[in-house]
A and B are shown apart, each in its own frame.
Chain A
Amino acid sequence: MDPRRYSRVIDPKVRQVGFCPRSGQVQNQSGPTGPSTSPPVSHISPSSNSLSPVMIPPPRHPSDAASRAVNVPATATTPLRPRRPSFDDPNNNSSSTEQLVVSSYNPDESVLGTSPPFSGIGDDRDGDAESEFSDNSVNWIRQNDSGRFPLSLAPDGRFDSAAAKEKQSKKPQVGSRKERGGGQTAEVRNDLPSESKPLKEKTSKAERRALQEAQRAVKAAAKAGGNKSKAASLSAHEQTNKAAKLPLQRKDDGPVTSSAAVSERRGGERPPEKDRKKDAPAPRMQFDDKNRVEKAKKRSVVKQTEARNRVELFRHLPQYEHGTQLPDLESKFFQLDPMHPSIYKVGLQYLAGDIRGGNARCVAMLQAFSEAIKDYSTPPEKTLTRDLTAKVNNFVSFLIECRPLSISMGNAIRFLKSRIAKLPITLSEAEAKSSLCSDIERFINEKIVIAEKVIVEHAVTKIQDGDVLLTYGSSAVVEMVILHAHKLGKQFRVVIVDSRPRFEGQALLRKLVKIGVSCTYTHINAVSYIMREVTRVFLGAASVFSNGTVYSRVGTACVAMVAHAFHVPVLVCCEAYKFHERVLLDSICSNELGDPDAISKVPGRMDINSLHDGTNKENLQLLNLMYDATPPDYISMIVTEYGMIPTTSVPVIVREYGREHLLI
């Protein structure tokens, strides 16, 4: 039996391996929801698109086995295999077992493949020895299994993937560079299965090579068929993958799929070393680096005067006098040749604080870019791609001078630049421009507008009648959530926590009261007083970093902390385009400083405004932080358009969806 099975796996070439999951899928349908939420994800993508660059990664392999085990309970094989992933990712497996138990379809051997009598003991965390024992005890039926088990032991899990990686990092260098985009992935896809198998049963090298060749050929054919460019075809693959994956991703909860997804993609579309290095975010401008500051100053359009009393701890951040640049800039409006007026306008709006909020700023910037691109014409003897990139860089540095970019804007700019870089040379200028403009349009639409709608749909499910929601400041998404919940007729109350000096919550208060939501308004100091009656905390975010840190309006961390202390769940609503692969531990290394005078002035309190005169005293530095970093342990869940995820899954979203900001 065993040899037969092997031959079945191996015999119909690697392609057959690709189809194997399909059988698993069928089983998934028979056994409710399948062995776990995660493996199906990986099943589906290759089966829905057999040419997909997403290959069958080693870690998924065990789950294949598991699903097979479900299918043929009598042959319940490989007790060890499923345990490996459980060791790697306990969440994954435990959830899968739970589901199986719920499904009540041969729950015992579900994951472990242990024999029924031992099912009682054999939950997924029992020792290897024990399972071996169980295996042995039943192996009079399936002695082959025990024979198989050492075989399976070797190739599974990390070891295998490591090998794959190694292979992969070598391969592209051997192969021609040009093929990197499509060819490499195909290659990897090929050699992964072949790598993972051969330890089990030796396929001949020639056989494997033949396979690879065949697949490469198929790949090439597909590429040629889709008359788009290489990049486009790649992204098309991605899209289909995503489309297949998305529904599943939605309903799962976080790390389960995330880890599976990570492992699934591992090696797949990972760019070669060099590319990855480039992808790592460049270190930010540090303003205590004198040389660079000087250089930057020479280039700058906005004349900034440095604040006199800089806060020592924040020397690495720009600390300029506020309110001095605007008149100067306005007067220069007509002199600035290289700057497009729409960019200029947006910059001034940033400077004056007319446009606030991550989304608003990002949309304004993108629209300005779109305007600028429409009016752009390539100078003679220059290529559009290069010149436009330089132009955009120019715009961006101007905007940075007006106000430091938010993470979301940085991401949007990255998206735009990658789009420009990937413009096919064959396109005419007009076509290129219109394609860029439509790309920008789509980005705004999909990443912000639709994303917000999806987030609202998700978040509203967490609001029940009788809830007391707390929100801090004024977040556009949270506002939409509350409005939508109100529209649905849910009965709830909102606590709006606000803080000096901006009092952003007051605007929200007005809006909510206007539509008839019962509100309580208070200051951040009283948050621990009011938290006793709160049942949910909804917060917005400026950005979410890949270690789960939520970077948001200053004070958010306090609110989240107090909520955590009072055991109130904290939900952060954030569009996935604001996620960033950088990590952040504290609020000091990366932040933005507001106008210090805003602190010294207390409207309506003449008696304590004496400090204002004393601002220039040597010993007094006023610190007006704009953002703070909320540690991930205070956050119960992040609501994104991809679903509701724990903070640990942020890197997955960044990795899966963030890299190129692919449009869905």
Chain B
Amino acid sequence: MPDMQGLVNELIDKLKKRDGLINGLSFVLVLMLIRWQKGEGITGTALQTAELLRSVISVQKLPPTNKAAALINAVRDVGEKLIAANPVGEPLASFCQLSVGNVIRRVLHIVREEDLSPSSDEAGDNEEEITWLRDNTAPYVAEIIRPPLLHMLHTFSSAEEKSKSYIFGRSRKLKNDVIEAINMLIEDVNICYELIAEQAVEHIHHNETILTLGWSRTVLEFLLAAKDKKRSFHVFVAEGAPRCHGHALTDSAVFAMISRVNMVIVGVHAVTANGGVIAPVGIDMVALAAQKFAVPVVVVAGIHKLCPLYTENPEVSLNDVRSPSELLELGNFSDCMDFGSVDGAPLVHVANPVFDYVPPELVSLVITDIGGHKPSYIYRLIADYYSSQDYVRYGKDALL
């Protein structure tokens, strides 16, 4: 993406005009954007969010009672602001909503769980825990918090430094556990590719023909893992226009080819609670064609892509629309616009959505890092990984 650097700079300029807190969070968003563009995709944003929350928790002052609630409030607060800081209309919008929300919910769930566990109620007693905490969290703080963010966090908890010992004395055990859990979460997200790819040999046999659409790192690793095991197979890659992350087959030829395909493997953006998936645009068409020819549609997705959302018409409410210039070249477009308006209303509309919603009926299998599941089972996984109190939406129209 050649223009990405310019985009980032522009974004930073914009951010400078905002107030301190938002500014700090926006900075994190910029980091996310960079990671996104580096090809880490949704996983990158998830990681970034987790790291941010970890640092927030690590410096959070906890009151003597109701520590968990304080932590939850803090995390929520940051989460809301993180979403709010998302400059609407920027390319971030499309991915932040879901992945950031997911991670925030995961962290909230972690806090709740740790709060319930018996050990967390014990009063912290020994000094070494404090030092452990310092040693362990300091690097994260330093890593993430650069001046503006640091500043923001100071405003967050201004009294923090004065009563350091007090905080740590009362809260270290809970915090300790939470941070450890978040570390595990980050670890999970990091290794989800390998975990998913490990299952590839169970699903891909010799001489198989696979169709995929667009580019997905999860799918890539999945296929590479199978290839490493000396399985030889054909892959049809539909290009996923207009973003064209994939290649070698036009999208329109999907229907023609799908009758010769044994399996469709696609990476997705999110898996909703009913087992439907939000995927790059075009996959609904592929899934319909696959259904016609009884070809299984396998979705590979890390656990962090599970979304505890029940929305009606997700294809609209969870979608994002991008610039027409991706579809119509500028010359062509302006030609159309020249004579293309009646009473000021343009005659030409260009629909360039980013995502498709694929209903669960069309999905045969969802492979996550903890194994393969029927779409109808996703709600169960979601119950395992999230707390029902947090099912509210994080997003532009957050209900919190």
Contact = CB atoms under 8 A, between A and B. Distances in A.
B327 A522 contact: yes
B347 A599 contact: no
Contacts of B319: 529
B94 interface: no
Contact of B255 (A529, A591, A606, A628): A628
Most buried by A among B240, B242, B315: B242
Interface string A432-462: 0000000000000000000000000000000
Contact of A500 (B241, B248, B288, B347): B241
B8 interface: no
B252 A517 contact: no
Interface in B350-374: 350-353, 356
A93 B260 CA distance: 40
Given A500-B241, A528-B288, A558-B285, A625 B250 contact: yes
Contacts of A562: 284-285, 288
B285 A527 contact: yes
Contact of A529 (B288, B327, B356): B356
B282 interface: yes
Contact of B247 (A521, A526, A599): A599
B342 A555 contact: no
B248 A623 contact: yes
B335 interface: yes
Interface residues of A, number: 59
B184 interface: no
B329 A604 contact: yes
Nearest to B249: A623
Contacts of A498: 327
Given A525-B282, A628-B256, A509 B348 contact: yes
Given A588-B259, A608-B244, A514 B292 contact: no
Contacts of B349: 518-521
Given A529-B281, A608-B245, A558 B348 contact: no
Contacts of B255: 555, 557-558, 561, 587, 628
Contact of B253 (A554, A600, A607): A554
Contacts of A586: 256, 259
B329 A600 contact: no
A530 B251 CA distance: 16
A513 interface: yes
Contacts of A529: 281, 284, 315, 319, 351, 353, 356
Contacts of A516: 342, 347
A529 B279 CA distance: 12
B377 to A, nearest CB: 24
A504 B351 CA distance: 17
B2 A524 contact: no
A528 B356 contact: yes
Contacts of A526: 281-282, 351-353, 356
Nearest to A501: B250
A247 B284 CA distance: 43
A439 to B, nearest CB: 37
B126 to A, nearest CB: 55
Contact of A513 (B315, B327, B348): B348
Contacts of B260: 313, 588
Given A529-B315, A587-B256, A588-B260, A622 B248 contact: yes
Contact of B327 (A517, A523, A528): A523
Interface string A137-176: 0000000000000000000000000000000000000000
Contacts of B324: 521
B239 interface: yes
A522 B252 contact: no
B285 A557 contact: no
B288 A521 contact: no
Interface in A470-512: 495, 498-501, 506, 509-510
A513 B281 contact: no
Contact of A499 (B251, B332, B350): B251
A86 interface: no
A530 B285 contact: no
Nearest to B241: A500
Contacts of A513: 336, 339-340, 347-348
Contacts, number: 174
Contact of A520 (B249, B289, B351): B351
B209 to A, nearest CB: 9
Contact of A621 (B1, B248, B250): B248
Given A520-B350, A521-B350, A611-B247, A509 B336 contact: yes
A74 interface: no
Contacts of A530: 351
Most buried by A among B253, B257, B349: B253
Contacts of B244: 500, 602, 605, 608
Most buried by A among B2, B324, B349, B356: B349
Nearest to B358: A528
A523 B315 CA distance: 16
A591 B2 contact: no
B253 A625 contact: yes
Given A506-B332, A516-B347, A620-B248, A528 B284 contact: yes
Contacts of B352: 522-523, 526
Contacts of A622: 247-249
A621 B315 CA distance: 33
Interface residues of B, number: 49
A239 interface: no
A171 B1 CA distance: 77
A529 B349 CA distance: 14
B336 A510 contact: yes
B254 interface: yes
B207 to A, nearest CB: 12
B7 interface: no
A624 interface: yes
A554 B252 contact: yes
Contacts of A625: 250, 252-253, 256-257
Most buried by B among A523, A600, A607: A523
B398 interface: no
Interface string B259-278: 11000000000000000000
A72 interface: no
B347 A518 contact: yes
Interface string B323-343: 010011100100110011010
B351 A555 contact: no
B217 to A, nearest CB: 16
B285 A524 contact: yes
A532 B353 CA distance: 13
Contact of B281 (A501, A518, A525): A525
B1 to A, nearest CB: 6
A528 B289 CA distance: 12
B256 A629 contact: yes
Given A499-B241, A519-B347, A588-B259, A606 B353 contact: no
A224 interface: no
Given A588-B256, A591-B256, A561 B241 contact: no
Contacts of A120: none
Most buried by B among A516, A517, A625: A625
Given A500-B239, A555-B250, A608-B245, 17 more contacts: A499-B252, A500-B250, A514-B340, A516-B342, A518-B349, A523-B241, A557-B256, A558-B251, A561-B292, A562-B288, A599-B239, A604-B329, A607-B2, A611-B247, A611-B248, A622-B247, A623-B253
The 10 A-B residue pairs with the shortest CB-CB distance in the complex, in nearest-first order: A555-B252, A525-B282, A587-B256, A557-B255, A628-B256, A528-B284, A499-B252, A522-B351, A513-B340, A625-B253
18 contacts: A495-B351, A500-B244, A517-B347, A521-B328, A525-B240, A529-B353, A532-B315, A555-B250, A555-B255, A558-B251, A558-B252, A561-B292, A586-B256, A588-B257, A599-B249, A603-B329, A623-B248, A628-B256
